[in-house]
């Protein structure tokens, strides 16, 4: 009996495979930080973090403080970097023993105040530098003022983020970012008088620029099975399968329509299958009107008309199927999330992280 509702399978053997593949690209001493932000890219951060902790992951990273608190409340002990703390977060950061990324003077001052208030001198933190992404981080010109404010505090790591490591066309840009990072590190270490551990590579950085692994690397999408490259996608295995079932089948006569706003009008006899998944679950309306497709009994069925909030209708005119049959939106064998999402010109990251929390998660061990 197949699962009779929309669900996401979280495939832990595939997660372990991906971690081992990434480890095989690195020196044995290089630490790995697993990025588990956004519900572990749409899966479940508690389940993924527990599994990675049992696989001896060195660090976890989340975007926002609430994501880190949830992990601590579920017993995760691994160091957790909060990539993007906000001004009012520092009481909780200290309380839950989270490690903040300090990326601006405004954030640094709040952090230093919190250390005084809670008498926590020596509390771990990381410093983020901007090397070309122009998103978050101190600039090279800030180092003098930064060192004055830090006094004798030393970060556990300094790090930066690459903007185009998946793109061979931008290799010169990536190498320039890495070079900027080296210069910044050199200057910062000279000013504070000690060496500091470093990291800059994300998944595509690990795969394409592994010689710059420094002391640690950060991987998100690679752990979930995508390498932003056909070659690496073969070695990595998708961790999330999105599946549902056929709720009902309708015979649609020539001239009749399907769905809201008569999105599809049949110009010949059409069989339409209704599936219990819609834009509230993360399947954008952009997939409607034939753009997106799902797999039923080994064949592709195109989405008919508009995506509804809780449902889509798909064309099964030429597919042998019945109510209750299983439907795959994407999986780790036939049709990947990357292929599914390419239908509307987006990337695996977006479809995964858009998956709604109302979808049931099932763990495959
Ligand atoms: C999200 C994020 C990552 C993960 O990137 P992947 O391409 O998924 O490996 C790494 N570092 C930072 C700073 C991030 O924001």
* Strands (DSSP E) found in 99-239: 99-102, 126-128, 157-159, 197-199, 216-219
pLDDT at 126: 99
Atom of ligand 1 nearest to the CA of 33: 10
How far does residue 62's CA lie from ligand 1's centre (Å)?
10
Is residue 227 a contact partner of residue 236, using CB atoms and an 8 Å limit? Answer: yes
| Per-residue pLDDT of the chain in tens (365 residues, 90 and over written 9) | 678 899 999 999 999 999 999 999 999 999 999 999 999 999 999 999 999 999 999 999 999 999 999 999 999 999 999 999 999 999 999 999 999 999 999 999 999 999 999 999 999 999 999 999 999 999 999 999 999 999 999 999 999 999 999 999 999 999 999 999 999 999 999 999 999 999 999 999 999 999 999 999 999 999 999 998 888 989 999 999 999 999 999 999 999 999 999 999 999 999 999 999 999 999 999 999 999 999 999 999 999 999 999 999 999 999 999 999 999 999 999 999 999 999 999 999 999 999 999 999 999 99
Task: Just list the catalytic residues.
Answer: 37, 260
Contact criterion met (CB below 8 Å) for 178 and 165: no
If you measure from the C-alpha of residue 204 to the centroid of ligand 1, how many angstroms do you get, rounded to a whole number? Answer: 10
What is the dotted CATH code of the domain comprising 240-364? 2.40.37.10
Q: What is the pTM of this model?
A: 0.97
Pocket of ligand 1 (CB under 6 A): 35, 37, 83, 161, 202-203, 218-222
205 CA distance to ligand 1 middle (Å): 10
What is the C-alpha separation between 160 and 99, in angstroms, rounded?
16
Q: Which of 228, 224, 202 is nearest to 12 (CA)?
A: 224
Ligand 1, atom 13, lies closest to the CA of 161
Q: What is the position in ligand 1's atom list of the atom closest to the CA of 222?
A: 9
CA distance 141 to 355: 41
Q: For CATH 3.20.20.10, list the domain ranges present in the chain.
A: 12-219
Cα of 5 vs centre of ligand 1, distance in Å, is 32
CATH T-level fold of 12-219: TIM Barrel (3.20.20)
Closest ligand 1 atom to the C-alpha of 166?
A: 7
Residue 271 three-state SS = strand
Ligand 1: which of 43, 80, 81, 83 to mutate, most ligand atoms within 8 Å of CB?
A: 83
Cβ atoms < 10 Å from Cβ of 134: 9
Q: Please, where in the chain does CATH 2.40.37.10 lie?
A: 240-364
User: Cα dihedral angle (175, 38, 81, 119), rounded to 10 degrees?
Assistant: 140
Ligand 1 atom with minimal separation from the 228 CA: 7
């Amino acid at each position: 009996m197949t699962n009779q509702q929309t669900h996401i399978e979280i495939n832990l053997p595939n997660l372990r495979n991906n971690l081992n593949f990434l480890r095989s690209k690195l020196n044995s001493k290089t630490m790995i930080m697993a990025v588990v932000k956004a519900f572990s890219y749409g899966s479940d951060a508690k389940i993924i973090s527990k599994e990675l902790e049992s696989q001896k992951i060195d660090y976890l990273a989340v975007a926002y403080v609430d994501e880190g608190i949830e992990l601590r409340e579920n017993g995760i002990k691994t160091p957790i970097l909060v990539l993007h703390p906000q001004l009012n977060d520092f009481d909780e950061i200290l309380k839950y023993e989270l490690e903040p990324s300090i990326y601006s003077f405004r954030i640094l001052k709040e952090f230093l105040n919190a250390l005084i208030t809670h008498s926590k001198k020596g509390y771990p933190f990381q410093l983020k530098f901007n090397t070309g992404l122009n998103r978050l981080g101190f600039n090279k010109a800030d180092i003098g003022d930064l060192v004055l404010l830090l006094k004798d505090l030393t970060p556990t790591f300094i790090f930066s983020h690459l903007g185009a490591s998946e793109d061979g066309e931008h290799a010169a840009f990536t190498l320039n970012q890495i070079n900027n990072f080296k210069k910044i590190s050199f200057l910062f270490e000279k000013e504070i008088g000690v060496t500091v551990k470093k990291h800059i590579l994300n998944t595509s950085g690990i795969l394409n620029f592994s010689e710059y692994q420094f002391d640690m690397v950060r991987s998100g999408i690679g752990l979930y099975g995508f390498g932003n490259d056909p070659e690496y996608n073969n070695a990595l295995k998708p961790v999330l399968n999105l599946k549902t079932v056929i709720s009902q089948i309708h015979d649609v006569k020539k001239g009749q329509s399907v769905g809201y706003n008569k999105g599809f009008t049949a110009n010949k006899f059409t069989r339409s299958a209704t599936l219990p998944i819609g834009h509230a679950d993360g399947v954008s309306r952009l997939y409607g009107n034939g753009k997106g497709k799902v797999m039923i009994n080994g064949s592709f069925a195109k989405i008919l008309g508009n995506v509804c909030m809780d449902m889509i209708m798909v064309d099964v005119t030429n597919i042998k199927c019945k109510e209750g049959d299983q439907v795959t939106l994407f999986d780790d064998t036939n049709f990947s999330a990357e292929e599914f999402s390419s239908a509307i010109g987006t990337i695996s990251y977006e479809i995964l992280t858009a998956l709604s929390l109302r979808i049931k998660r099932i763990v495959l061990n």
